[in-house]
Amino acid sequence: MMTAEKKGKVVLAYSGGLDTSVAIPWLHDQGYDVVTLTMNVGQQADNLEEIKSKAYAAGAVKAYVVDLREAFIDTFVWPSLKANAVYQGVYPLNSALSRPMIAQALIWCAEKEGAVAVAHGCTGKGQDQVRIEVCCNALNPDIEVLAPVRDWGFTREEEMDYAEAHNVPVPTTRQSPYSLDDNLWGRSIECGILEDPWNEPPKDAYALTADPKEAPDEEVTVEITFEAGVPVAINGQKMGSIELIDIMNKTAGKAGYGRIDMVEDRLVGFKSREVYECPGALALMEAHKKLETITLSKDTLKTKKELEVRFAEMAYEGYWFSPLMEAVQAFMDSTQKAVNGTVRMKFYKGNGIVNGMKSESSVYNKALATYSAGDIFDQSASVGFIKIWGMPIKTWRQTHSEKNVNPIDAFISAKGKDAF
């Protein structure tokens, strides 16, 4: 093969799968020295050491494997939890959140290695390409972003042939019939039979959650303690964030909780049927949302809800590093100072229900709410309150007296004697 002109180093986000493995020799053929970067964001199945040797076998000059789980949680997952971020009201953004993390790590590694470019294995059809590239360009516009899979134009067969000719092992085991992506915040399942929204997702689509019908007959209760909007303990036991999310994934998943089946509006213009399993994410978000109902004011909750939608859209659409995202996160952080306390949540056959909560910073005042002894609510004050609260409507109707036709009259005369 003709050797291309030397271009310098490229840092490739490397999963160890066929596409990114083929990208190593392909980028090399373009004149790059390929440094691979494999990131641990809590994906289930991957053997990271094996991936490293695979990278060297395919021709990488250096192979990094970095454990980014804590950074991922602190920088992306907890901010999203604070914002109860779900795209289109449903999808907790597990895949979307890892993309700015990948971009950040790619740029970090490229700067460290003095690379001229970074590369990812996304196709030209998804939104992961958009997220990674928009984020990389925002973080360091001098570093070029390459997308070999989008550019090479191989058919599946050509890709296999190219792999065989370049010391890249082609998969021998049966490949998943789905396109999968996972990390500690959840698992995304798409393509194949799922592309028809009429098809029920087959059993083999799921890996983290039990079929609710087959979940244990016993309910499980957990108590989750939050500090400033972030979970810090389960059943009174303080623990690190990785372990906490893992326990929530397992507990809720075993009970069949955390499945999502939706048609989602993609940034790239079409609708896509998506299945997700996010037992821990959905459980923590439900608990967090409930805790906010006793710790935040009515006004704050209302405005926060609006900004939560914006937050989720920006995370979905690749605008993580935008100025608006920074401002919205500052708002969220400010609200979360009050979100402290413990939530009790019960899991049972696909359900996860909050059935108790308490908080030192609660603004729920039992003495005001009670209908029993100890009531401090001044009922006599309601008289004046109602007068003033209702005054604008009363005033308007006095001017527009034509409105004062009571529709009951028309209803009753239409029915005639049957009305009585």
Catalytically active residues are: 19, 99, 128, 179
**Pair 175, 204: CB distance under 8 Å:** no
Least distance from ligand ARG to the Cβ atom of residue 128, Å: 6
Q: Which region among 144-152, 176-184, 197-205, 321-329 touches ligand ARG (by CB under 6 A)? A: 176-184
Q: Is 127 near ligand ARG (CB under 6 A)?
A: yes
Exactly one of 274, 277, 292, 308 binds ligand ARG (CB under 6 A); that residue is 274
Amino acid residing at 341: G
Interface mask toward ligand ARG for 335-374; x: CB under 6 A: ----------------------------------------
Cα–Cα distance measured from residue 180 to residue 191, given in angstroms and rounded to the nearest whole number? 9
Q: Which region among 37-45, 141-149, 178-186, 210-218 touches ligand ARG (by CB under 6 A)? A: 178-186
The neighbouring-strand residues paired with 263 are 273
Least distance from ligand ARG to the Cβ atom of residue 62, Å: 26
Q: Is 275 near ligand ARG (CB under 6 A)?
A: no
Single out the residue of 259, 149, 264 nearest to residue 203, CA to CA.
259
Residue located via tokens 């929530």: 248
Taking the least distance from each CB to ligand ARG, the nearer of 115 and 119 is: 119
Exactly one of 47, 179, 334, 398 binds ligand ARG (CB under 6 A); that residue is 179
Taking the least distance from each CB to ligand ARG, the nearer of 95 and 295 is: 95
Q: Which region among 177-185, 213-221, 293-301, 394-402 touches ligand ARG (by CB under 6 A)? A: 177-185
Exactly one of 38, 188, 241, 329 binds ligand ARG (CB under 6 A); that residue is 188
**Pair 106, 355: CB distance under 8 Å:** no
HSE-CB for 260 with a 13 A CA cutoff: 28
Q: Is 95 near ligand ARG (CB under 6 A)?
A: yes
Least distance from ligand ARG to the Cβ atom of residue 65, Å: 20
Residue located via tokens 């507990």: 251
Q: Is 181 near ligand ARG (CB under 6 A)?
A: yes
**Pair 129, 122: CB distance under 8 Å:** yes
Least distance from ligand ARG to the Cβ atom of residue 156, Å: 16
Taking the least distance from each CB to ligand ARG, the nearer of 20 and 249 is: 20
Exactly one of 51, 73, 96, 282 binds ligand ARG (CB under 6 A); that residue is 96
Q: Is 237 near ligand ARG (CB under 6 A)?
A: no
Q: Is 183 near ligand ARG (CB under 6 A)?
A: no
- The residues in 310-339 that bind ligand ARG, with binding defined as CB under 6 A, are none
Q: Is 113 near ligand ARG (CB under 6 A)?
A: no
Q: Is 190 near ligand ARG (CB under 6 A)?
A: yes
Q: Which region among 141-149, 174-182, 243-251, 398-406 touches ligand ARG (by CB under 6 A)? A: 174-182
Q: Which region among 11-19, 62-70, 179-187, 224-232 touches ligand ARG (by CB under 6 A)? A: 179-187
Cα–Cα distance measured from residue 219 to residue 255, given in angstroms and rounded to the nearest whole number? 8
Per CB under 6 A, residues contacting ligand ARG are 95-96, 127-128, 179-181, 188, 190, 264, 274
